[in-house]
Structure 1
Amino acid sequence: MKYYFLILLFSLISCTKRDNENSVEKIEVQKVIVIQPLGNFELKKSNKVLSEIKTINPNVVLRQNIPFPENAYYKPRNRYRADSIIKSLRNTIGKDSVIVGLSHSDISTTKNGIKDWGIMGLGYRPGKSCVVSDFRLSSKNKNQQFYKLVLHELGHTAGLPHCKVKTCLMRDAEGGNPLDEEKDFCKKCTNFLKRKGWQLI
């Protein structure tokens, strides 16, 4: 009887321990963020993005400028295809990294049946690469808007979809520029990114 009681007690402790282990959320190690300026992107602005990203991830690297991929240029509109850019960039990093291309030039993709739709940014979801452009941003708050745009596309690479919360950084621009209305990641998006290792408050 005594042994039976000890076996029962041990079983209960084991089950409780296993349940507690399952209830602990697993936090992933955040990937190294590689910043890749494209074309004539200004060094001063690249360094600003670098310092801002360090606040959410100390593992960030700034590379020297490189030319746009040759196959990305869309001559009829004098701009670059974002999908071609991110396909090229993803092959320049390891599996523990994600890369964001920075552009002053206009970028585009195919969307809603339109072959060449001008955009501010594009990223795989989830994925290893994204690209952002300040070409379509407001001149008034360009630096602040640009950083929000970088976070938006990096959020996609982490796996976040667009968000319906109007003040969330993951809001869908829907062809416009609502960046000044966006304040931060909403609670749901913040919790998701924290599980991905992002150092958000």
Structure 2
Amino acid sequence: MAPTMEDRPLVQVVPLGRVDETAVNVTAAHLQAVLDLNTQILSARPVPDYALVPGRHQYNALSIIDALTRDAPPSVLRLGLLRQDLCLPIMSFVYGEAQIEGQGAVVSLYRLGTTEDGRPVSPDQLYDRLAKITLHEMAHVLGLIHCRAPGCLMRFSPNPGHIDRMDMIFCPDCSMELVRRRTRLFRNYLASEP
């Protein structure tokens, strides 16, 4: 018998600062529809000024994930969404970042709303990109790593054009691995519930 929504692990979607309500809802809907995870949208938290990298005008994604997961219950996953630009100490920018087989991820809309030459994209294109990056990062949280299959959601995306060319699906190998890891996550989740 398939798990009911109550039996599915919970992902809490956490807006950080002012994030477009549609973006938050698109994120939650794709996590439910594609990854089969229950979602809960939490109240917005302030922009994470503690993660601002001096001189770069960007936010350290690892610091944000650490803060997001610090107070999360053990059986809950968290995804932060923000409009500000993200980076890692060794990368000039990232669309998102995740703890592989961890509890948290963060995704930024900052670079998803423009073309490579800086022109704005349509809201539909922005939300499509956001959904793809969100699914990619949460699949990392579930334990998937980057994939080389063309079009797979787990393929590394160096630019917005690459995101646009990706399909909203995982390749057969990643799909099988995702099923295996979700099944294990469901078992662990059910075992942790009173």
Question: TM-score, normalized by length of structure 2?
Answer: 0.79
The 1:67/1:167 distance shift into structure 2, 3 A limit, reads same
What is the distance in 2 between the residues matched to 1:40 and 1:76? Answer: 23
For the pair 1:99 / 2:84, whether they are aligned, the reply is no
From 106, 114, 118, the counterpart of 1:131: 106
Tell me the distance in 2 between the aligned counterparts of 1:54 and 1:161.
21
Deviations 1:66-93 (A, max 9, x none): 0133320123122211110001111131
The amino acid of 2:22's aligned partner reads: K
Q: Which runs of 5+ in 1 are unaligned?
A: 1-28
Aligned pair partner of 1:43 in 1, 21, 24: 21
Q: Which has the larger radius of gyration?
A: 1
Identity rate, percent? 27
Matched AA of 1:171: R
Amino acid at match of 1:180: D
**Over residues 157-181 of structure 1, what are the superposed CA-to-partner deviations in whole Å (9 max), with x where a residue is unaligned?**
11111000120000012x3231111
Give the one of 41, 46, 60 matched to 1:81: 60
The CA RMSD over aligned residues, in Å, is 1.7
* 2:11–2:40 Cα contact (<8 Å) kept: yes
Residues 1:192 and 2:177 aligned together: yes
Structure 2 SS opposite 1:196: helix
Q: Which amino acid aligns with 1:51?
A: A
From 152, 159, 180, give the equivalent of 1:176.
159
Q: Within 2, Cα distance between the matches of 1:84 and 1:64? A: 20
Deviation at 1:58, TM superposition (A): 5.0
Q: 1:58 to 1:189 in 2, by over 3 A?
A: closer
Contact 1:38 1:103 in 2 (8 A): yes
Gaps (5+ residues) in structure 2? 1-6, 115-120, 184-194
Cα pair 1:68 1:85 within 8 Å, conserved? no
* Number of residues of Structure 1 aligned to a counterpart in Structure 2: 165
AA partner of residue 181 (structure 1): R
